[in-house]
Amino acid sequence: MTPKIIHFFILIYLLFASSSCSSFKLAYNWTDVYLDIKIDAYFDVTSTQQDFLDIKLKSLHTWHRKSELPKYIVFLQETQQRLQDGAQKEDLAWFFDQIKLLNAHIGNRMASDTAEFLSLLSAKQVEYLKEKLAEENKERLKRAKRSEKERFQDSIEKIIEGTEEWLGALSDDQKRPIEQLWQIYWNQEDLMVRYRHRIRSHERFMVLLKKQKDTDQLGKSLLRWYLHPEYDYSEAYKNMRNQRLQRSEDLILLLNRIVTKQQKEFLNDTINKYINQMKELHMIDVE
């Protein structure tokens, strides 16, 4: 759980990270319920806070369906166009810029509501959050201390699974160069770098939560942190992120060379399915 609590309201996570194409509509329709459950898990909300969340999450969901889904559709359509001749580095930069822009829309929409919710927390709830984060960090540290072989294998399996979600099944001859690329960039210290960054962020958030009682100022601080998290990065974390970006670029260029015609068609069809589902979801609200 990120200390930037505004992330509770970032629907892009559900849109592109936690739901496959086949389950996208279901995940989207239940997003407000999912977020409600997650928030309660971290804060043990009171009935008054629950009433506040019910109103705000419903409003957010309606706004996102009506205002933001059309932007996602345009984004996917342009992505489709850029992929026709094979993605280049500049296309990847454009993709990440668009993701940031879509996230910024939601951040700006939710900053004040998030700050207002946080201002409703009691000291007991803040301590409850602190304990929950400590439990998660303990589990993450345990995972980080697994053998390098285990962690590398998990990483490979995730990237293969994610790639196949968009391209269809990969052959062994296609998986092999992906694994070789992952091996080049593999750094066993990355998990600990991320773990230390997470601890620092949690500590900073707790200070922010306890120090800033003014709702307006808290909202501005949260939004600034969300839009410009790089100001809080250590050198090790910056280097790790740069390496991951370079790895992503190299992966895209590699896939350009090894994907088959059928896999390109599969990718195009998958994007079309997302677009069509988003159009249907958008029309639910505007009819």
Separation of alpha carbons 10 and 219, rounded Å: 15
pLDDT at 147: 86
Distance in angstroms (rounded) separating the CA atoms of residues 163 and 80: 16
Considering only CA atoms, which of 167, 169, 162, 170 is closest in space to residue 270? 167
The CA distance from 277 to 92, in Å, is 24
> Percent of the chain having pLDDT more than 90?
46
Element (H, E) at 210: helix 190-211
Q: Domain ranges for the chain, please list them.
A: 5-286
Mean pLDDT of the chain: 85
248-102-66-30 Cα dihedral, nearest 10 degrees: 60
The CA–CA distances, whole Å, from 229 to 3, 4, 94, 237 equal 11, 9, 19, 11
Q: Which of 134, 128, 113 is nearest to 44 (CA)?
A: 128
Among the listed residues 132, 148, 243, the one whose alpha carbon sits nearest the alpha carbon of residue 192: 148
Q: Which pTM does this prediction carry?
A: 0.84
Instruction: Give mean pLDDT, residues 50-68.
Output: 92
Give residue-wise pLDDT tens across range 29-38.
888 888 888 8
Tokens of 24: 């996208």
Share of the chain above pLDDT 70, in %: 91
Q: Are 63 and 109 in contact (CB under 8 A)?
A: yes
Give the pLDDT of residue 7.
Answer: 40
The label of the residue with tokens 């997470």 reads 198
Identity at 108, one-letter amino acid code: N
pLDDT tens figures, 97-145: 998 898 889 889 988 999 999 999 999 999 999 999 999 999 988 887 8
Q: Taking a C-beta distance cutoff of 8 angstroms, is the pair 140, 198 a contact?
A: yes
